[in-house]
């Protein structure tokens, strides 16, 4: 695959991009070599940084002709090891210089953004136009729009606004051979043949390089109300969710579950944070509703919680936006600090919402039975049936034993996911980390179709080879 050796590769690509477009020095490559989790490292052969679609197109044409393997890279916050270079040698294509907001139209409720734009910057541009770009999650200050499209990112607001897939109106994509597909449009309705953009969304950089996206916007909410609720069981949390969906109309924007262990991680990490409620509860949910100005949103949430007194043990409703943001910090700090600075097993699974409580009970019981030495951290976007059941090894455990623990725990969790007809990857994708489990489960017809799509879009398999499907050296992609 890697027919071109580094020195000639650099000479081949140097002529394609203007000065500063190709980085090759060790000290320059370091920041493109490790992802947010710190678990995945890959030193690229070089880093290409095209600053326009024309430069991207010329770059890919040359890579296609010379069979140079590449991997597109956004903000490196992906959690399945897909965006760092493979050991076999790849050129990283960073989108960071393609980062303009091309347009925002409050009348179309749409914006056109280049793929290297940081999500938070795109959200701010929407807000300046009195609109909301709904994609919201902890990494929004670092991840980029192209990464969000390529992973079909979810986040806190999916239950109201959908995944990234539901928010993309059009795409501009540079194909593996350098051709540019201009599918950028802001139409709400367009039934002209195949909807090609859907093939690229969630394809994790394996089918083309997204250079810009037309995204759906919503009216910017002028009111947001947040509450942190203490409950007895996950069953009660899911019963509360079902009621909230009905009684809060469509104004529910987030419903996040955190088990007590997660709150304790935040309390340990931040001694300045008090226990959020008068006493500890086994289960917590963060509930958020939002609306425009003509609704008494505060009264709605207060009345809803009062009417659910049979489920709600205790709770706090934020009295200001700042207090609401502080309640969210209990979750964000827990996410950052759960691994105690070391490695931990991340899972990102989904099951039918109706089965979520049973799934959590079964999975925690199985882990407790087989690995009582490990710490299970459980939280998630349960309004979407999506739960993260992460496993932290005991302190001081040897690296080999940690690997064994991760394998055993993951197998156990995935077997229970299968029992509930769920998904082993709800949001994060397959990349390289989940590939084995994915290929063990994929329907043979689906695999044939997926392999055919890959061949059609990237015949020389130079794009993100070995992510989702196995690398090209494996004839049947397994």
Question: Is position 143 an interface residue for ligand FAD (rule: CB under 6 A)?
Answer: yes
Residue 350 touching ligand FAD (CB under 6 A) = no
Contact 183, 169 (CB under 8 A): no
Beta bridge partners of 254: 288
The secondary structure of residue 471, as a DSSP letter, is P
Rule CB under 6 A: is residue 347 a binding residue for ligand FAD?
Answer: no
Helices 234-247 & 297-307, crossing angle to 10 degrees?
140
Q: Return the range that interacts with ligand FAD (CB under 6 A); candidates 139-147, 180-188, 321-329, 363-371.
A: 139-147
The residue within the footprint of ligand FAD, chosen from 291, 338, 412, 464 (CB under 6 A), is 464
Select the residue interacting with ligand FAD from 147, 221, 315, 324 (CB under 6 A): 147
Q: Per rule CB under 6 A, is residue 99 in the interface with ligand FAD? A: no
Q: Which residues are CB-contacts of 264 (< 8 A; sequence separation ≥ 6)?
A: none
451, 477 Cβ separation under 8 angstroms? yes
Separation of alpha carbons 100 and 16, rounded Å: 22
Residue 36 CB coordination number (10 Å): 15
Q: Binding residue for ligand FAD (CB under 6 A) from 42, 44, 50, 72?
A: 72
CB of 87 to ligand FAD, least distance (A): 16
Out of 428, 432, 434, 461, which residue is the one contacting ligand FAD (CB under 6 A)? 428
Smaller CB distance to ligand FAD: residue 275 or 325? 325
57 is a site residue for ligand FAD (CB under 6 A): no
433 makes contact with ligand FAD (CB under 6 A): no
Q: At 129, phi and psi to the nearest 5?
A: -105, 20
Task: Name the segment binding ligand FAD (CB under 6 A); options: 190-198, 201-209, 399-407, 452-460.
Answer: 201-209
81 counts as binding ligand FAD under rule CB under 6 A: no
Task: Decide if residue 210 touches ligand FAD (CB under 6 A).
Answer: yes
For the CB of residue 61, give the shortest distance to ligand FAD in the complex, in Å. Answer: 17
**Minimum distance between the CB of residue 437 and ligand FAD, rounded to whole angstroms?**
17
Shortest CA distance to 341 belongs to which of 396, 388, 273, 387?
A: 396
Q: Which stretch binds ligand FAD (CB under 6 A): 18-26, 79-87, 220-228, 285-293?
A: 79-87
Angle between helices 356-370 and 399-419 (to 10 degrees): 150
Residue 175 binds ligand FAD, judged by CB under 6 A: no
Rounded CA-CA distance 456/449 in Å is: 11
- Indicate the pairing of strand 91-94 with strand 70-73: parallel
Shortest distance, position 219 Cβ to ligand FAD, whole Å: 23
Largest CA distance in the chain: 71
How many Å from the N-terminal Cα to the C-terminal Cα in the chain? 17
Find the length of the chain: 478
Q: Footprint of ligand FAD on this chain (CB under 6 A)?
A: 36, 71-79, 82-83, 95, 115, 137-139, 143-144, 146-148, 150-151, 153-155, 204-205, 209-210, 335, 427-428, 431, 464, 467
């Amino acid at each position: 695959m890697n027919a071109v050796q580094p020195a000639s590769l650099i000479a081949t690509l140097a002529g394609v991009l203007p000065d500063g477009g190709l980085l090759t020095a060790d000290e320059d490559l370091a920041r493109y070599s490790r992802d947010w989790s710190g678990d995945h490292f890959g030193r690229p052969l070089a880093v290409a940084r095209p600053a326009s679609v024309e430069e991207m197109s010329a770059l890919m044409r040359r890579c296609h002709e010379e069979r140079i393997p590449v991997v597109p890279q956004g903000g490196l916050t992906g959690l399945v090891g897909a965006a760092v270079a493979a050991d076999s040698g790849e050129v990283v294509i960073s989108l960071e210089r393609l980062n303009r907001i091309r347009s925002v139209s409050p009348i179309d409720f749409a914006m056109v953004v280049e793929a290297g734009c940081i999500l938070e910057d795109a959200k701010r541009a929407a807000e300046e136009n009195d609109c909301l770009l709904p994609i919201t999650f902890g990494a929004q200050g670092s991840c980029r729009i192209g990464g969000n499209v390529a992973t079909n990112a979810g986040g806190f607001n999916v239950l109201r606004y959908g995944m990234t897939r539901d928010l993309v109106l059009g795409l501009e994509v540079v194909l593996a051979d350098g051709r540019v597909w201009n599918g950028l449009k802001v139409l709400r309705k367009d039934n002209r043949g195949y909807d090609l953009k859907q093939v690229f969304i969630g394809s994790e950089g394996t089918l083309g390089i997204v250079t810009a996206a037309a995204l759906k916007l919503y009216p910017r909410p002028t009111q947001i109300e947040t509450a942190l609720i203490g409950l007895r069981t996950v069953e009660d949390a899911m019963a509360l969710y079902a009621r909230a969906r009905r009684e809060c109309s469509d104004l529910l924007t987030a419903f996040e579950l955190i088990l007590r262990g997660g709150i304790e991680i935040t309390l340990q990490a931040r001694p300045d944070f008090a226990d959020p409620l008068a006493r500890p509860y086994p289960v917590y949910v963060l509930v958020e509703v939002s609306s425009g100005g003509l609704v008494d949103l505060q009264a709605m949430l207060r009345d809803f919680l009062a009417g659910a007194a049979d489920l709600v043990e205790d709770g706090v409703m934020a009295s200001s936006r700042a207090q609401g943001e502080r309640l969210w910090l209990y979750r964000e700090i827990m996410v950052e600090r759960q691994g105690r600075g070391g490695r931990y097993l991340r899972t990102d699974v989904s099951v039918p919402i109706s089965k979520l409580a049973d799934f959590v009970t079964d999975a925690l019981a199985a882990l407790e039975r087989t690995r009582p030495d490990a710490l299970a951290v459980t939280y998630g976007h349960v309004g979407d049936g999506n739960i993260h059941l992460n496993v932290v090894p005991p302190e001081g455990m040897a690296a080999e034993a940690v690997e064994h623990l991760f394998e055993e725990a993951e197998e156990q969790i995935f077997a229970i996911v299968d029992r509930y007809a769920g998904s082993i990857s709800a949001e994060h994708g397959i990349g390289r980390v989940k590939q084995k489990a994915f290929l063990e489960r994929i329907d043979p017809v689906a695999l044939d179709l997926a392999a055919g799509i890959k061949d059609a879009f990237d015949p020389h398999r130079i794009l993100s080879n070995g992510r989702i499907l196995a690398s090209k050296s494996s004839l049947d992609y397994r």
